[in-house]
Structure 1
C-alpha cells in the first residue's frame, strides 16, 4: 500500500479537530476538496477511518489506530527531509538537545573550537522526550540518561553518574555522609510520574524510581515540605540546589549511564564529528568517565 503523505496530513488535521470545516480552514483548502482527499485515503487503505454525519465526526477503531501511526509517519518524513537538506547544504548548522539538570558546555565548546564555521544551537528538552526529538529531526543529537527507547536510535555511552538521595533538611538521615538502599527501607519515595509517595522496599524499588522523569522542581518542593524523598543523578543534584533539601550520596546502587543519542539513519559527517568530540571529552559531570570507544 502506497500512502500519500499529503492525504495523511489532511487526515491528522481532521482527526485532531473532528470538524471538516475547521480543518479545511487550518489547511487553507476548500472543505469539499478535503472531504474528497479523506475519502480517497480511505479507499487507498480499504477501511473507514472517520464516521461522519451531518452533525458530527468521530474516529473509527481503525482511525484511532491509524492516527497514532500517522503522526509517526509525518514525523519520520519531516526528519528525513531535514537530514537530506542538511547533507545537501554543506552542513553548517547543528542542533544539540539535552535533558534536565545537564551541563553540556564542555563538549559543545570543544566542538565549536574544532569546527568554528558551524553554528551550534543548544535546546533543552522535556524529560523523556529526547529520543523522540531526535527521531522527528527537532535536534540532530541529544544527551540522554539511560534507559531510553532504542528503536531508530543509536546510543553512544559517554559516562555514568552515581545517585544521591534528596532528603528534607530536618530528616533524621540528612546529616549522613553516605547512605545505602537498606538505610532508606520504609521511607516514602516520591514517584516522578506525579503519583503519591510509595514506601521503599529494597534496592530494586530505588533503582526503578531513579529511572523516572518529570517536573524535578515540583518534586524537590515536596521534598522540602517533608512530603517524601527522591533520587537524582549527581550532576542534576548540583544543578537543583535549593533551601530545605539536603543531598546525601547513595552507595551500592548501579550508576545512571549518560549517552549521546542520534538517529540510526543519520549519516551526516557533522553529526559523526560531534559524536567523536563527545567521546573524546567524556561526560564532565561524571566522577568515573568511561573510556572512549
Structure 2
C-alpha cells in the first residue's frame, strides 16, 4: 500500500467508513451510450450556480441527472474524480486518477473545468498529489493532499502554500473568515484559525464530512448518516435529521437550509435544513474500486 492509500485508509478505518468515488452523468447533450448508467462510489457533489444543475463526482466520471432523472456522463472522461468542488458558474476543481488504460500519471494533481465538467485541464502537482478534499472560498482553493498528508492553499491553482500535516477525511472553510478551517479526523473535528497552517487536536463529535456555506449553516454528517448542524462555527451541534441510505459518501451545503448528501443508496437533497429529504439520484453498489 503506497503512502496515498495508507493515509486515506487510516482515516477511513478510524471513522468506520469505506471511501468511495462517484459516477454521475452529463447534461442532455451527453453521449447517448451513457443512458442507463449506474452511479456508485461518490466523492463529491455540487450545484452549478448558473443553472442549479446537480453534478456528482464519482470513481467513474462526473455525472448529472438527465431530464428524466437518470444519470448521464458529463463529457467523455471516466476518470476517478476524488476531491471535487464547484467554485463558480461552470467552474469546477477536482483531483483524482486516470481511468484504467488511460494515459497520464497516477495522480492528477489539481485539474480545472470551465465548461461544467465537459473538459478538464491540468493546473499543477500532476503526478505528485491526490486531493481527497477540495473547497473554494474567499478566492482561494483549499485542498487536503492525501498523498502527502497535508493541507495546501492556492490562489491560482498553480502555486501552493503548504499548511499543516494532518490525517483528515474532509475539510470545510468558514464562509466569513478565510483563516477558519475545519477538518474531520478520527478524534473528531480539528480546528485551524490560521488558514490551515496549524490545527488543534480534533474534538468530539466525530463527523465523516463537513460543509460550510453560511455563517449559521455549518453541516456535518456522521458515520451513520445523521445530519448535524452548528450555528456557532462548530462549538455546539444539533442533529437535524438522518439522511436515508446509511453510510455517507459526500456532503455539500448550498446555503443555510439547502443541503446535498450522498449515501449508499442515493443522492438526497434537503431544502429545510435536514428535516426532510428528496431523492435526486439513485446510487448502486459495486463498480470499479
TM-score bracket, normalised by the shorter chain, equals under 0.3
Under a length normalisation based on structure 2, what TM-score does the superposition of the two structures give? 0.22
Q: Give the number of the structure with larger relative contact order, counting CA–CA contacts within 8 Å between residues 6 or more apart.
A: 1
Under a length normalisation based on structure 1, what TM-score does the superposition of the two structures give? 0.22
Structure with greater Cα Rg: 1
